[in-house]
């Protein structure tokens, strides 16, 4: 009897949250969805791709990378460089933005770095060289083999970002990316997981707000409200997209409760995958 009462209370509370949310939040902005047909012609090459490092979404991750690789090929983008932005989960090191000179070896080959681009970042005080930081964070190591599988010939610039960052710091990095790269030669990939440690119903509500913010390139939302493991990477991406006049296209939105077929899971992780393009 006691168990039934508790379940009823939880159900009523959840319903109340949903009703409150619907009444107090504006309708979600229109989200552009990626074309479902593989032969749909894109308007321009994606310049930014958002993917997870939570490998419960491994199949969706591989599909996103495959689709964006094809979109870039179809628009004759060369993809000479991959810039990988990832959160510093464990607050290791000293710099706000950390990189390093190293190679990454996989069974299918070796990732080579864009040493000149990395040195340019360091010389302009936009990143610091620190060893043995990137290799110990799954935000880099989890997605990197999948990225390399689609872009084996690119030179890589891995950057791990530590919260918090000031508005000035995100401004400077966004401006650098706009001025020092082109959509043709560079693909920026952001390794980000979204809502954490929540039941799916609550995570979905948070993600609805995030999808609206992505559509609106809402930097204020990313700086203060977003449920994600790197708000400032999303801020940088939004600033970059505004300066490039690019807009967000959704590839997939998933939750670990669905992917693991456990709808009653109370601590989930969500994944929003998509790209910015003209």
207-251 per-position pLDDT tens digit:
999 999 999 999 999 999 999 999 999 999 999 999 999 999 999
Kindly indicate the confidence band of residue 107, based on its pLDDT and cuts at 50, 70 and 90. Answer: confident
Answer yes or no: is 5 within a domain: no
Total domains in the fold of the chain: 1
Its domain, for residue 234, covers 32-277
Kindly indicate the confidence band of residue 108, based on its pLDDT and cuts at 50, 70 and 90. Answer: confident
Q: CA quadruple 156, 192, 142, 260: dihedral positive or negative?
A: negative
Answer yes or no: is 11 within a domain: no
Residue 13 pLDDT: 52
Answer yes or no: is 3 within a domain: no
Residue 27 pLDDT: 47
Answer yes or no: is 222 within a domain: yes
Answer yes or no: is 10 within a domain: no
Looking up residue 261, the CATH number of its domain turns out to be: 3.40.830.10
Residue 43 pLDDT: 75
Calculate the alpha carbon distances from 229 to 53, 90, 110 in Å. Answer: 11, 11, 28
27-39 per-position pLDDT tens digit:
455 677 766 554 4
Distance CA 222, CA 231 (A): 5
Residue 106 pLDDT: 87
Calculate the alpha carbon distances from 185 to 62, 114, 120, 134, 188 in Å. Answer: 21, 12, 17, 24, 10
Residue 14 pLDDT: 53
Answer yes or no: is 8 within a domain: no
């Amino acid at each position: 009897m006691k168990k039934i009462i508790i379940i009823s209370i939880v159900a009523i509370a959840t319903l109340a949250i949903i009703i409150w949310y619907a009444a107090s939040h504006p309708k979600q902005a229109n989200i552009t969805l990626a074309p479902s047909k593989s032969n749909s012609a894109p308007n321009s090459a994606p310049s930014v791709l958002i993917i997870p490092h939570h490998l419960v979404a491994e199949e969706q991750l591989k599909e996103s990378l495959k689709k964006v690789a094809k979109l870039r090929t179809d628009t004759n983008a060369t993809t000479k460089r991959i810039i990988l932005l990832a959160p510093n989960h464990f607050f290791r090191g000293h710099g706000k933005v950390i990189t390093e000179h190293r190679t990454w070896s996989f069974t299918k080959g070796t990732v080579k770095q864009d040493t000149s681009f990395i040195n340019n970042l360091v010389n302009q005080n936009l990143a610091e060289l620190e060893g043995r930081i990137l290799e110990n964070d799954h935000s880099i190591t989890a997605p990197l083999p999948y990225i390399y599988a689609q872009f084996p010939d690119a030179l890589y610039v891995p950057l791990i970002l530590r919260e918090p960052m000031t508005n000035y710091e995100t401004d400077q990095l966004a401006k650098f990316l706009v001025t020092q790269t082109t959509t043709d030669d560079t693909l920026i990939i952001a390794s980000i997981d979204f809502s954490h440690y929540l039941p799916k119903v609550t995570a979905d509500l948070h993600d609805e707000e995030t999808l609206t913010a992505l559509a609106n390139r809402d930097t204020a939302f990313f700086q203060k409200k977003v449920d994600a493991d790197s708000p400032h990477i999303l801020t940088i991406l939004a600033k970059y997209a505004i300066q490039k006049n690019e807009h967000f296209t959704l590839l997939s939105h998933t939750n670990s409760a669905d992917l693991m077929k456990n709808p009653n899971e109370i601590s989930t992780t969500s994944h929003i995958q998509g790209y910015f393009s003209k």
